[in-house]
A and B are shown apart, each in its own frame.
Chain A
Amino acid sequence: MGRVVVEVMLKPEILDPQGQAVLNALPRLGFDGFSLVRQGKRFELSVDGEVTDEVLARVREAAATLLSNPVIEDVVAVERVG
């Protein structure tokens, strides 16, 4: 069984209130020195059999049409794992 990991991030110009909340919480626990936190999404897609180039191409298409909204998000990684 093969797996493909897709990572999606909000575009840099889109405000990320969740990331900001995390950033503000870090120093409260003593984690100082971080200037920015951006929170994204990670998807793991499993297939029966190997991850062929064709599978990868289909995942890329799914990432661009369903897993991300190109108005506000970028697909930053589509990677074969395992």
Chain B
Amino acid sequence: MRIGVVTFPGSLDDRDAARAVRLAGAEAVSLWHGDADLHGVDAVVLPGGFSYGDYLRCGAIARFAPVMGPLVDAANGGLPVLGICNGFQVLCESHLLPGALVRNDHRTFVCRDQPLSIERTDTPWTSAYAPGERVVVPLKNGEGGFVADERTLDELEGEGRVVARYVGKNPNGSYRAIAGISNAAGNVVGLMPHPEHAIEPLFGPDPRSGTGGLDGLRFFTSVVEGLVSA
């Protein structure tokens, strides 16, 4: 089981994502933005950060990195791909996911332990969660407001493609409190919050909240278990 983690210039959370992959029981394979080769991995994580300094638009330059050529083809062919934060922005700019991420409505960077409800559990990244399950993982973004036109939003809702929704106060102005979505097939998932920061005791959101701080790990065990049983 080999899961690739792409590093762009300006990626921040590639090491954390690789650690989450390893703790979930798979081998983490570093993929370089300039290398147009996925090296035969079974799934790919696009990590958080500020690829290319967020120049032009978040994720807009990363979309044209050499690694994205084979990645887009493989994603369209069914390869499980998870984009977290900046990775979500890259997936939207690549047209693998609809909509766009814009500056938070309150104009300030948000960094908090964020309650979510997991709404779609038949994706390779969320199969280990129960439908409607409430989890808490870190959220940290400046441009995390998910926007799309009404027709696209209705389509996402109607097809059950809202993967995760913010619970409680909307932290960034995302339309319909959407925190994560999938493509029509379900194999490509974009998520603004950071499950890779909630995978080990004492390092995730406060264990006294009753969540144990491990709420993010199952995004990674989901894909590992799915690939093993496939």
Q: Which of B56, B102, B104, B106 contacts A72 (CB 8 A)?
A: B102
> In the complex, what residue of chain B is closest to A20 when comparing beta carbons?
B107
A66-B99 contact given A17-B104, A71-B147, CB 8 Å threshold = no
* Chain B positions within 8 Å of A29 at CB level: none
Q: Is the CB of B56 within 8 A of A67?
A: yes
Interface residues of B in 171-185 (CB under 8 A from A): 173
Least distance between A63 CB and chain B CB atoms (Å):
12
Task: Give Cα distance in the complex from A54 to B105, angstroms.
Answer: 40
Determine whether the beta carbon of A17 is less than 8 Å from that of B147: no
Task: Report the contact-size class of chain B (Cβ under 8 Å from the partner).
Answer: 20 to 34
Per-residue CB proximity of B140-151 to A under 8 Å, as 1/0? 000001011100
| Chain A residues whose CB sits within 8 angstroms of the CB of B81 once the complex forms | none
B100 and A15: CB pair below 8 A? Answer: no
Residue among A17, A20, A21, A67 facing the most chain B CB atoms (10 A cut-off): A17
Interface positions of A from 25 to 82, Cβ below 8 Å from B: 66-67, 69, 71-72
By a beta-carbon cutoff of 8 Å, the part of chain B in contact with chain A is 56-57, 60, 64, 92-93, 98-100, 102-107, 145, 147-149, 173
Residues of A bordering B, CB below 8 Å: 10, 14-15, 17-18, 20-21, 66-67, 69, 71-72
A sample of 16 more A-B contacts (CB under 8 A), given A14-B102, A66-B64, is A10-B102, A14-B147, A15-B145, A15-B173, A17-B103, A17-B107, A20-B107, A21-B107, A69-B100, A71-B98, A71-B147, A71-B148, A71-B149, A72-B100, A72-B102, A72-B147
Pairs A–B under 8 Å by Cβ, sample size 26: A14-B102, A14-B147, A15-B145, A15-B173, A17-B103, A17-B104, A17-B105, A17-B106, A17-B107, A18-B103, A18-B107, A20-B107, A66-B56, A66-B60, A66-B64, A67-B56, A69-B57, A69-B93, A71-B92, A71-B99, A71-B100, A71-B147, A71-B149, A72-B100, A72-B102, A72-B147
7 tightest Cβ-Cβ pairs between the two chains A and B: A71-B100, A17-B107, A72-B100, A17-B103, A69-B100, A15-B105, A69-B57
